[in-house]
Amino acid sequence: CQGAVGGGGDGSFAVSREGGPTAQELTNENMLKIVTLQCTDLEVNTLVWKCLGYRFFDKNWTTDQVFPNWKEKYPTPPDFINMQRVYSKQVDEPSLRVNQALVRSIPLAHKQMLKPALKPLGWSGYKMVNLTPNKTRRAQCANWLIYYRDHLFGYTVKELKERRQQQQQAEAAARQPLKEGEEEEFRPPVKEVY
């Protein structure tokens, strides 16, 4: 990305504004560069935008391919990281909220995929003492990108909806009837992007 701000991009991060996301852009090596600050905040945002369906065309981001639920709420690509790195409530609130919305779109079973994916590359996570809002949001974006790569990449919205419906039917069929006095197990809500 040209004109990128924030982070320590050295030019080795695989991302292009043009076209949809590529397998090369979604490698674990690229995810490692996100969490180790070897790319810029703009490069991270750009990759997430592309995966959500935003497309850069004629010097503007378009929404023709954006996941419908996401497009309705975010008609322009939002800043997931807070590229300004000003953490006052007034400046930071929009980035914080949009990052939280991205995290909520990950089903519970896939929320902790970052460390297992990057451990073979030598990354064992952040230490609490070194954690910053920027690092946290980068990790959340990288985790979402891994979820996207493993479960959404290459499918149409129609195919994803059909797959979700099949999963819900299979889960409903597998559920045992509740015995008298039993309560259904709590399942956290997921706000999918499609």
Tokens of 79: 């800043």
Tokens of 153: 């990449």
CA–CA gap between residue 12 and residue 146 (Å, rounded): 19
Residue 3: is its pLDDT beyond 50? no
Q: What is the pLDDT of residues 30-49, one digit of tens each?
A: 999 999 999 999 999 999 99
In this prediction, residue 84 carries a pLDDT of 85
Give the other-Cβ count within 10 Å of 70's Cβ: 22
Name the one residue in this structure whose structure tokens are 């065309």.
Answer: 57
CA–CA gap between residue 158 and residue 143 (Å, rounded): 24
Tokens of 14: 């695989």
* Nearest alpha-carbon partner for 133 in 5, 1, 4, 6: 6
Annotate 27-54 with DSSP letters as a single string: SHHHHHHHHTT-S-HHHHHHHHHHHHT-
In this prediction, residue 174 carries a pLDDT of 79
Tokens of 69: 């639920």
Please compute the mean of the pLDDT values over residues 2-19 and round it to a whole number.
69
Proportion of the chain above pLDDT 90, given as a percent: 64
Residue 80: is its pLDDT beyond 70? yes
pTM value is 0.84
Cβ proximity of 31 and 149 under 8 Å: no
Please compute the mean of the pLDDT values over residues 83-103 and round it to a whole number.
91
Give the other-Cβ count within 10 Å of 83's Cβ: 18
Q: What is the pLDDT of residues 134-159, one digit of tens each?
A: 999 999 999 999 999 999 999 998 99
Cβ proximity of 28 and 115 under 8 Å: no
Q: What is the pLDDT of residues 158-187, one digit of tens each?
A: 999 899 899 888 888 777 777 777 777 776
Residues ≥6 apart with Cβ < 8 Å to 5: 40, 41, 42, 83
In this prediction, residue 192 carries a pLDDT of 67
In this prediction, residue 170 carries a pLDDT of 86
Cβ proximity of 138 and 166 under 8 Å: no
CA–CA gap between residue 111 and residue 102 (Å, rounded): 11
Q: Quick one: CA dihedral 164, 169, 173, 179, positive or negative? A: positive
Please compute the mean of the pLDDT values over residues 39-65 and round it to a whole number.
96
Residue 1: is its pLDDT beyond 50? no
CA–CA gap between residue 68 and residue 84 (Å, rounded): 28
Residue 4: is its pLDDT beyond 50? no
